[in-house]
Structure 1
Amino acid sequence: MRIHSIILLGLCCTMTLAQDRVPEARLLCLKKVLNRYLVENRDVSIDYELYNVGDATAVDVQLKDRTFPPTDFDVVSGSLEATFPKILPNTNITHSVVVRPNKYGMFNFTAAEVEYKLSEAANAEVRHSLTTEPGQGGIMPEVEFERRFSPHYLDWVVFLLLCMPSLLVPFLLYNSSKSKYENLAKKAK
């Protein structure tokens, strides 16, 4: 009796799993900050990747990012809102935007919103999704970035000018004494 129960349970599970499931679109959304250093008044590249891992086409896909307020960021290139007519199954779409921070300090990079329909029908179900959150990042002041990462040409020129007297004075003393002894050696012959 126990074996019959296990076989019956196995058949029920197999039949449940074997039923046709309705193909639908499933979007995985990723938001990445591409810059290593976030610097005030310097471009910051943001990349959005939308992957359709479902079995159906995602239709009328809308991406909206409200993370960057106009008072704190200027949009240099691209748009914070994008619309894609279709994303086919097992494909991806990438969208990029370049923003420029106007202030320095800590900033929380939140998720962007993604909205899409499961089919082209007028009454199709609309799904809402969020991208990944890059999290909190520090925007470095431009002056500090220049101080840490500039080639410091002026500093090197000043350093060389300060080193010149300590190298030039001994050389001139050596050269004058050498020529003096060479002249004495010529006279002695």
Structure 2
Amino acid sequence: MMRREGLTLGVLTAISCVLLSSMGYAADPGTLTTSEDPARVLVYKQLQNKYVVESMDVVIKYSLYNVGSVTATNVQLKDPSFGPDFTVVGGTTEVTFPRIPPASNVTHTLVVRPTKFGYYNFTAAQVTYKSGDDAPEVFQGWSSEPGEGYIAAFREFDKRFSPHFLDWTAFAIMSVPPLVIPFMLWHSSKSRYEAVLLGKKSK
């Protein structure tokens, strides 16, 4: 699940502030033989759901930005944070992008389904890549962290947000007798009273 997009300056600025301080490298950029700045891949991990609910799909979007001046190659994204409490229903937790050119980005989408409710810490994904086609050095970094979030129990969520069609139907059925029976009694009494009046007038 990948698509290329143009870089947005505002998004890059925000991501740079969050990630540059935590970016780790397996090699010193000064050892590169090129005079250009090496490839620098920033990763933004974001939960797309407004509510995270037990047994319901959760969409996670990864945006990878190359803010360097060299093409990033063999870019590998791994997210081991989803353990046995989650079921992967779409996408993969590991994906490889052969190339990310300078000043461009790619995205990856993962869909998981939590099997338990409660608080859960959504941690960072890991990314490794090379700067250029022939560079032996491997760079390593981490994505932003969505942080701790609450996975609501399905019953709790359903109670608050479900349209409750069955409940309203049952309520409507239960409301009919208290309304219909008094009306029928009134109508029956009215008919008898009118019949008595007509009988008296005919005499």
Cα distance in 2 for residues equivalent to 1:59 and 1:160 = 63
The alignment partner of 1:117 has SS state of strand
8 Å Cα contact 2:45/2:125 also seen in 1: yes
1:157 counterpart = 2:169:
yes
8 Å Cα contact 2:70/2:131 also seen in 1: yes
TM-score w.r.t. structure 2 length? 0.75
**Cα distance, 1:178 vs. partner?**
2.3
**Cα distance, 1:51 vs. partner?**
1.1
What is the aligned partner in structure 2 of residue 45 from structure 1?
A: 59
What is the aligned partner in structure 2 of residue 144 from structure 1?
A: 156
Q: How does 1:110-129 map to 2 (within 5 A)?
A: 110-123=123-136, 125-129=137-141
- Higher mean C-alpha displacement, 148-157 vs 26-35: 148-157
Gaps of 5+ in 1: 1-20
8 Å Cα contact 2:86/2:113 also seen in 1: yes
Structure (1 or 2) with the larger CA radius of gyration: 1
TM-score w.r.t. structure 1 length? 0.81
Alignment: residue pair count: 167
**Cα distance, 1:87 vs. partner?**
0.2
- Segments of 4+ moved more than 3 angstroms: 184-187
The answer to which structure, 1 or 2, has the higher relative contact order (CA under 8 A, 6+ apart) is 2
Q: Per-residue CA shift, 1:3-35, capped at 9, x if unaligned?
A: xxxxxxxxxxxxxxxxxx623222221001111
Q: Per-residue CA shift, 1:79-107, capped at 9, x if unaligned?
A: 10111110011111000111111211111
1:31 counterpart = 2:51:
no
Cα distance in 2 for residues equivalent to 1:51 and 1:22 = 17
**Cα distance, 1:122 vs. partner?**
4.6
Gaps of 5+ in 2: 1-34
Q: For 2:100, give the aligned amino acid.
A: I
1:108 counterpart = 2:121:
yes
What is the aligned partner in structure 1 of residue 147 from structure 2?
A: 135
The alignment partner of 2:98 has SS state of strand
8 Å Cα contact 2:124/2:142 also seen in 1: yes
What is the aligned partner in structure 2 of residue 182 from structure 1?
A: 194
Percent identity between the two aligned chains: 50
Cα distance in 1 for residues equivalent to 2:165 and 2:191 = 37
